[in-house]
Amino acid sequence: MAGIYLDHAATTATLPEVVEVMKPYYTKDFFNPSSVYQPSQEVRKRINAVRETIADIIGALPEEIYFTSGGTEADNWAIQTATSNKRNQPVHIITSNIEHHAVGHSCKRFQQSGGQVTFLPVDGRGRIRVENLRQKIQKNTALISIMYANNEIGTIQPVDEIGILAQEYGIPFHTDAVQACGQIPINVRKSRIQMLSASAHKFGGPKGIGFLYVQKGIPLHNLLEGGGQEHGFRAGTENVPGIIGMGTALELAASKMGEKMKKETLLREHLMERIQKEIPFSRVNGHRWYRLPNNVNVSFRFVNSESLLILLDMEQIYASGGSACNSGSTKPSHVMKAIHVPDEYQNGTLRMTLGEENTMQEIDEVVNKLKIIIEELRKESPEYEDFQRKQLL
């Protein structure tokens, strides 16, 4: 691909090794894994082997892994499971006010239907306070759903502490780990996580496939009625090539995670340092240290992110203004509002998410281009012109 790709939080390229392992399941090994004859049962064995691979990487059991169409479905399934397990009782859910819409909108819909939802605030760096979470727990709290790492600002939540608290009160803990899985180490047993959502295309796998981990003993809501796939909880013929590809992608991600994290952290620090030193009226959003290795979210004053992205695109630099799910919106995101980014900075937000193929040379080129583009945009800004005039008075 020509250009510099800095939108890995939106999606990653499917790795060549993943494409190769998927190919046979479109052609010679195309069999339906639910059929009884030998070739189909071989496909079934391969699917079960992927469950074992995923389970081993995240510290789960194979029978606790359920395949889905992606992170959004997995998030919705987790919320539906919690709200359907106690249908005859008032149910309370605790989540945060910076969740991905797959969780946030699901909780709001539940609230509109009569359920109780507490949306925890976060601090200025995007982290919840565990003591605040403790104070919001009620006798009818049926689920705590707090994302592992935020998709816009990269802030990592105190997952282990949340898990300890949830276990203390006997409340299932779900985490949307779509941005974290395959990027940083995860162990569901160690962190006392009962449900976890993930999506393959965030870590080098194909689109349209993900998984939901559900700890044994958690009563699972039937998502789709029909056949007996996914232990009878999610009917429909399995996406065999996608499942195979996801297993290989996660295995590859786990094998090189340490090296990848180290490289991306160096690039991230260099990018943030140069922006803060060389571009005035800029601010980095999110936590300084509890942060995904590849995430840089920065806001510029006197700049509109839409114009900024267009001009970067013309330079073949591909980034985003926030979550890819909100790409059609020109309004500041709920995350920017939640962490109290000043109004004069919110409209100039840029998210750059790095990948292992990015280089230091590319990062320097991006900053050099950013400096020129931002200077040009500010020349056309009435607010900037007015600001400069006031400075001279």
Phi, psi of 188 (to 5 degrees): -65, -30
Contact 175, 159 (CB under 8 A): yes
Residue type, 246: M
CA nearest neighbour of 82 among 152, 147, 171, 2: 171
Q: What are phi and psi of 86, to 5 degrees?
A: -130, 55
| 325 noted as active-site residue | yes
Burial readout 139-172 (b: 16 or more C-beta within 10 A, e: otherwise): eebbbbbbbbbbbbbbbbbbbebbbebbeeeebb
Cα gap 224→215, rounded to integer Å: 20
Cα distances (Å, whole numbers) of residue 38 to 21, 34, 48, 235: 20, 11, 15, 22
Q: Which of 325, 356, 367, 381 is catalytic?
A: 325
Report residue 339: phi and psi, to 5°: -95, 10
DSSP assigned state of 105:
H
Angle at 84 between CA 79 and CA 89, to 5 degrees: 120
Catalytic positions, written as ranges? 325
